[in-house]
Amino acid sequence: MTTQSTTPTAPTMRASVLTRPGTVEVQDVPVPTLTDNQVLVRISAVGVCGSDTHFFHEGHIGDMVVKEPLILGHESAGRIVAIGADVSPDRIGERVSIEPQKPCRVCEYCKGGQYNLCPDIEFYAAPPIHGAFAEFAAIDSDFAYPVPDHVSDAAAALIEPLSVAIATCRKAAVQPGSRVLIAGAGPIGILVAKVAGIYGAADITVSDPAPHRREFVLGAGATRAVDPRSDDLAGAGTLFDVFVDASGAPAAIQAGIRAVKPGGKVVLVGMGADTVELPVSLIQNREIELTGIFRYTNTWPMAIDLVASGLVDLDALITHRFGLEDVKTALLTGGQDPHAIKSIIVP
């Protein structure tokens, strides 16, 4: 049983559906059915993520394989229009940012605070769970976070990649005075640079071959931007406390690891090849800690505060906006437009 707003939704909604790799179609699909503890959100904005483009082009990411039609999109925000039986009616009408995952809440990982590692987690746009390139989406009520009125719809959606950056800096133990190297000046690399600065990093070096991205990241918190084709940081004797790979490029990962000081940390967040050759003896001899990032836990409150306070300007990342009919164009834009940073879908 659900309680709905004064504007009831129709039984179907428009959604952009990935029907096979390289093909998306706008279709009428059923509006999600709510459980007692869920809310229905009318989607106002959805960011286009690298994982969306991977699924679009390749049909899989690692062992996550698209086997049937799938609605992509997980960086999302909107307004609550209907509620489950156990949710307060006061929530109807709230503008919210969606943490796009539903953990089981009872496994050892959920109970240990690592609900992102829950083996039964349901994550937007991770097959077979539908995402938010649609008019409506359902989410557990406590994963729909209210946002202040002065935070834009698009910024509310981009709380998700900001959460990735927060999780990355936490895992890397960035602290005042840290020297941080980041490979890749896409949205995640840019946001990692910004959050690292907020955490007090003294040197934030970002490596990217694209001149416009290097210029952009310098205005977003980086203290230095270098071209990996010509700047050999390790060869120049520059060593860092932390290396974050936000590129997924094997060469960037290998070069970044070589630029980490003994006892330093490496965090892999970019999506690339399933298997990468690593300098194992160097990792052993320097006792470098190497780990990955898989989404996030308990990051939304901090991320919303950073945006609401003005410390992070997510709207500045947006270079393109599209409707549901143009999702394919949006998915291709990152690879075709050299000046693209972040695309937003407005259903």
CATH class (in words) of the domain with range 2-158+314-345: alpha beta
Number of neighbouring beta carbons within 10 Å of residue 179:
22
Question: If you search the block for the tokens 């950056």, which residue do you land on?
Answer: 165
Q: How far apart are CA 27 and CA 325, in angstroms?
A: 10
Please give the pLDDT value at position 235.
Answer: 79
With left for phi above 0 and alpha for psi between -120 and 50, is residue 177 left, alpha or beta? left
- Cα–Cα distance measured from residue 189 to residue 165, given in angstroms and rounded to the nearest whole number: 8
Confidence tier at 270 by pLDDT (50, 70, 90): very high
317-334: b (≥16 Cβ within 10 Å) or e: bbebebebebbbebbbbb
Mean pLDDT of the region 22-48: 97
Q: What is the pLDDT of residues 193-218, one digit of tens each?
A: 999 999 999 999 999 999 999 999 99
Q: What angle do CA 297, 302, 307 make, to 5 degrees?
A: 130
- Angle, nearest 10°, between helix axes 327-336 and 50-58? 100
**What percent of the chain lies above the pLDDT cut of 70?**
97
Three-state SS string across 54-89, please?
HHHHHCEECCEECCCCEECCCEEEEEEEEEECCCCH
Query: 273 pLDDT band (50/70/90 cuts)?
Result: confident
Q: Residue 265 has what pLDDT?
A: 98
pTM for the full model? 0.95
Coil, helix or strand at residue 8: coil
pLDDT of 9 reads 60
What tokens does 30 get? 């059923």
Given CATH 3.40.50.300, say whether it is the number of domain 162-292.
no
pLDDT band at 1 (very low <50, low <70, confident <90, very high): very low
pLDDT tens, 92-134? 999 999 999 999 999 999 999 999 999 999 999 999 999 999 9
Contact 72, 26 (CB under 8 A): no
Q: How many CB atoms lie within 10 A of CB 16?
A: 27
Note the pLDDT tens digit of each residue in 286-345: 999 999 999 999 999 999 999 999 999 999 999 999 999 999 999 999 877 888 999 999
Task: Give the integer Cα–Cα distance in Å for 33 and 117.
Answer: 25
For residue 6, the model assigns a pLDDT of: 41
User: CB of 304 within 8 A of CB of 159?
Assistant: yes
pLDDT, tens digit, 9 for 90 and up, residues 257-269:
999 999 999 999 9
Name the 3-class secondary structure at 49.
Answer: coil
Q: What is the C-alpha to C-alpha distance for residues 89 and 80, in angstroms, rounded to an integer?
A: 10
* Domain spans, the chain: 2-158+314-345, 162-292
